[in-house]
Amino acid sequence: MYLKNKTVKDMYKICVIEGDGIGREVVPATVNVLKATGVDFEFVHAEAGDEVFEKTGVALPEETINTAKECDAVLFGAAGETAADVIVKLRKILNTYANVRPVKAYKGINCLKDNIDYVIVRENTEGLYKGIEAEITDGVYTATRVITREACEKIFKFAFEMAKDRKKQGKEGKVTCTHKANVLKLSDGAFKSIFYEVAKNYPEIKTNDFYIDAMNMYAVLRPETFDVVVTSNLFGDILSDGAAGTVGGLGMAPSANIGDEYGLFEPVHGSAPDIAGKGIANPTATILTGVLMLRYLGENKAADRVEKALEEVLENKLTTPDLGGTLTTFEMAEEVAKRV
């Protein structure tokens, strides 16, 4: 999977932010799996989230930001009520403009279809998530949606490069753009037209586009027909959560935030306070997020070993209760680590 060309190093410095809720369980479990790969890591722990905010009044301390910038990658768990001030802010600070969310069916998991394997690439810096809101008069509120040519060109190039890489691995080599250009004629009209401009530089890659509402339907009816799907910020957030439901839920959904300088890796699920501390949180999404981080670092052989080990564990139901097993979070991760 194309994330970014990285120079393989003798040792990698990883900023580890467990955050809130089940982040404090699934991240340490994943760190143990990463240690089993034999890749030389230095894990530097940093704090962010609700508990830090309660103690200090700051959800994302400056020290944590500096640590993140000094490391080769960031492995993040989950944020609770302070998510907008932690993970959304950290994405912006690190300028990780591409949010990568694989949607893949694994044996042993109750999936809609067994041949689902595509990637949603979401523009990560613009759209409504810019947070430009105002109360223009009493009882009237506005939110400004920002779309720029520069950001569009960057995210489309990223998506096409990923499709090129996947084609080398035997995938179709296709990019689907999803938008709402029939209603948002100016902003999404530009999004769609710039997509096809960039596509001219990749004649070997197939292209098509769908309105976001239709795309939501097709993600359920024919998910096996997609390879790389590229879309804007809010649409990508909603679409990818729905797509996760076709392959077993958010507990199976990893993600990567990639920029020109930094890589920030986080499972899609939140802090899940209802099960936090019970030792039953499914670590799969975070382990798969670790796989994405390994690929970003250029450690593809180690990434392959972890993914294969996880596949064996899932197929043999050596899992947490939500996946039909009886193991705890750490016991499931240990089964993966043993196989790595």
Mean pLDDT of all residues belonging to the chain: 95
Residues 125 and 205 in one domain: yes
* 225 lies in the same domain as 295: no
Provide, rounded to the nearest whole percent, the portion of the chain with pLDDT above 90. Answer: 93
Q: Which of 213, 230, 247 is at the close of a domain?
A: 247
**pLDDT surpasses 70 at 3:** no
Tokens 């939501």 belong to 216
Range of weakest confidence among 4-13, 108-117, 230-239, 262-271: 4-13
Predicted pLDDT at 131: 83
For residue 300, is it within any domain?
yes
Query: Residue 322 gets which letter from DSSP?
Result: G
Please return the burial class of 126, using the count of CB atoms within 10 Å of its CB with bins 0-12, 13-18 and 19+.
buried
Per annotation, catalytic residue among 89, 174, 180, 192: 180
- Listed residues 197, 215, 247: the one ending a domain: 247
Does residue 242 share a domain with residue 119? yes
Predicted local distance difference test score (pLDDT) of residue 85 = 92
Same domain, residue pair 89 and 149: no
Residue 103 lies in a domain: no
Indicate if 18 and 92 belong to the same structural domain.
yes
The verdict on whether 138 is a catalytic residue reads: no
Per-residue pLDDT at 127 exceeds 80:
yes
pLDDT at residue number 146: 94
Q: What is the pLDDT of residues 306-339, one digit of tens each?
A: 999 999 999 999 999 999 999 999 999 999 999 9
Three-class DSSP category at 340:
coil
311 found inside a domain: yes
What residues pair up with 214 in beta bridges, in sequence order? none
Both 214 and 199 in one domain: the answer is yes
Q: What average pLDDT score do residues 284-295 get?
A: 97
For residue 227, the 8-state DSSP code is: S
CATH (domain of 284): 3.40.718.10
Say if 102 falls within a structural domain.
no
> Does 237 participate in catalysis according to the annotation?
yes
Last residue of a domain, one of 215, 230, 247: 247
Active site residue 129: yes
Q: Do 218 and 121 share a domain, yes or no?
A: yes
- Looking at the fold, whether 137 and 227 belong to one and the same domain comes out as yes
Q: Are residues 93 and 128 in the same domain?
A: no
Give tens-digit pLDDT for 19-67.
Answer: 999 999 999 999 999 999 999 999 999 999 999 999 999 999 999 999 9
Pick the catalytic residue from 2, 12, 97, 129.
Answer: 129
Please count the other Cβ atoms lying within 10 Å of the Cβ belonging to residue 65. 17
pLDDT at 231 over 90: yes
Q: Decide if pLDDT at 96 tops 80.
A: yes
Tell me what the mean pLDDT of segment 180-207 comes to.
97
How many folded domains does the chain comprise?
Answer: 2
pLDDT band at 129 (very low <50, low <70, confident <90, very high): confident
Q: What DSSP character marks residue 178?
A: E
As a whole number, mean pLDDT of residues 195-223 equals 97
The whole-number pLDDT of residue 315 equals: 96
Q: Is the pLDDT of residue 4 over 60?
A: no
Does residue 1 surpass a pLDDT of 80? Answer: no
104 part of a folded domain:
no
Question: pLDDT over 70 for what percent of the chain?
Answer: 98
Going by the DSSP 8-state scheme, the letter that residue 18 receives in this structure is: E
Q: Whose structure tokens read 């096809």?
A: 196
Residue 338's pLDDT is what?
97
pTM (predicted TM-score):
0.93
pLDDT for position 123: 96
pLDDT computed for residue 9 by the predictor: 81
What's the pLDDT band for 6 if we cut at 50, 70, 90?
A: low
- Domain of residue 191: give its range: 111-247
Contact 91, 264 (CB under 8 A): yes
Same domain, 123 and 210: yes
Residue 291 lies in a domain: yes
Flag whether 105 is in a domain: no
**pLDDT confidence tier of residue 253, bands split at 50, 70 and 90:** very high
CA dist 174 and 226 (Å) reads 7
231 and 124 co-located in one domain: yes
Characterize 86-109 residue by residue with b for buried, 16 or more Cβ atoms within 10 angstroms of its Cβ, and e for exposed.
Answer: bbbbbbeebebbbbbbbbbbbebb
Q: Which of 213, 278, 304, 338 is catalytic?
A: 213
Averaged pLDDT for residues 183-195:
96
Higher-confidence residue of 5 and 108: namely: 108
Confidence tier at 2 by pLDDT (50, 70, 90): low
DSSP string, 50-114: HHHHHHHS-SS-HHHHHHHHHSSEEEEEE-STTHHHHHHHHHHHTT--EEEEEEE--TTS--S-T
Q: Which of 117, 165, 241, 322 is catalytic?
A: 241
Among residues 202, 237, 262, 296, which one is catalytic?
237
Task: Establish if 75 belongs to a structural domain.
Answer: yes
Q: Which residues contact 41 (CB under 8 A, 6 or more apart)?
A: 11, 12, 13, 14, 34, 35
**Does one domain contain both 126 and 70?**
no
Report residue 5's pLDDT band, with 50, 70 and 90 as the boundaries.
Answer: low
